Amino acid sequence: MLVLVLAVLVLWLWPAGPFADLPPKRLPPSLPPLPETRLPYYQLPASLTLCGVPVPLEEATVREGLDREFTIVVWSRAQTLMWLKRAHRYFPEIQARIRAHHLPEDLKYVVLIESDLRATARSPAGAAGPWQFMAPTAQRFQLKATDQIDERLDLGTATEAALRYLKFLYQQFKSWPLALAGYNVGEGRLQKELAAQGVDDYWRLALPEETERYVYRVLAAKVVLENAPYYGYEVPESDLYPPLQADEVVLHTAQAVSVRGLAEAAGTYYRAFKQLNPWIKGLSLPPGSYRLKVPKGAAPAFYEAAARGLPPAPAPAPPAGPKSNGPARRK
């Protein structure tokens, strides 16, 4: 047997052997030719700032921590493309609110890391909305969250609350990297770690891994999105998501009203109305005062319909009866 194996190997390797004239392996005809160029390698910038303050890239731990998140963002093609498309829709409003608060514009990248700019994002821990507020923090910053409405899901209201929280954190810690860490882990835990470790510098602070990576993720998003064409992301203008065109109306109602009726008063349908107002959770709005978004140009018609009277909320469904075991099965 051994002799037979050796003979086959000699025939295979012998330049003039019987296998010498076999054609090389070829790609299936359905696949295009292999590219001649290899994938590019992207290096970190030589210098970088976060909220106007230099990042100490000369420290190996900082550079390597950023390099990890930067590499993930650069090569997460699908996710980064979605960031670019959604940012074109939502960043103008977020940037305007940041400027109104006189805060650093780099804070807009926090919302990308928190939710990928998805208004209805929810975490397993219970955080919700584009800025991922937990219920206690939402209540602290006057975001209403009930069975029928959840203002954490409204981009404008949640952005205002997030910016007030970030401003508070900066005033407490006197550092934007620490403020961002506090936004992720909570200011109580952050204060405890600062006191225990005897440092006041985020870059030298040991924190839970999620929080240690958090600020680097914000930085990586900034680097790639600010230089998207350099990193191979060139999205045609026509494929970027346009800002939502909407009017804002004010509704005062003394009775619960149907969301379907609100949509029809605005000249649209239920799903489109809920996409403009994702903070509405159910089929109706309870009595109260609300700011609603309606399709561009629909405000006059909405007010006319409201003056005539909006449909009341649907009656609650009757309680379910005893659970049936289903139809009898043939045996």
Please indicate, yes or no, whether residues 141 and 287 belong to a single structural domain of this protein. Answer: no
pLDDT band for 328, please (50, 70, 90 cuts): very low
* pLDDT at site 19: 47
Strand partners, 289: 252
Please indicate, yes or no, whether residues 231 and 293 belong to a single structural domain of this protein. Answer: no
Angle at alpha carbon of residue 146, lines to 143 and 152, rounded to 5°: 35
**Does some domain include residue 177?**
yes
Q: Tens of pLDDT along 87-142?
A: 999 999 999 999 999 999 999 999 999 999 999 999 999 999 999 999 999 999 99
Q: Tens of pLDDT along 288-317?
A: 999 999 999 999 999 999 988 887 777 665
Q: 253 is in which domain, residue-wise?
A: 246-308
Please indicate, yes or no, whether residues 127 and 156 belong to a single structural domain of this protein. Answer: yes
Work out how many domains the chain is built from and give that number: 2
Domain boundary among 204, 236, 268: 236
**Does some domain include residue 38?**
no
**Mean pLDDT to the nearest integer, 72-82:** 96
**Does some domain include residue 166?**
yes
**Does some domain include residue 319?**
no
pTM of the model: 0.82
DSSP symbols for 144-168: -B-SSBBGGG-HHHHHHHHHHHHHH
Residue whose tokens read 């409003």 = 93
Please indicate, yes or no, whether residues 64 and 173 belong to a single structural domain of this protein. Answer: yes
Domain boundary among 185, 214, 236: 236
Q: Distance between CA atoms of 130 and 128, rounded to whole angstroms?
A: 7
* pLDDT at site 193: 97
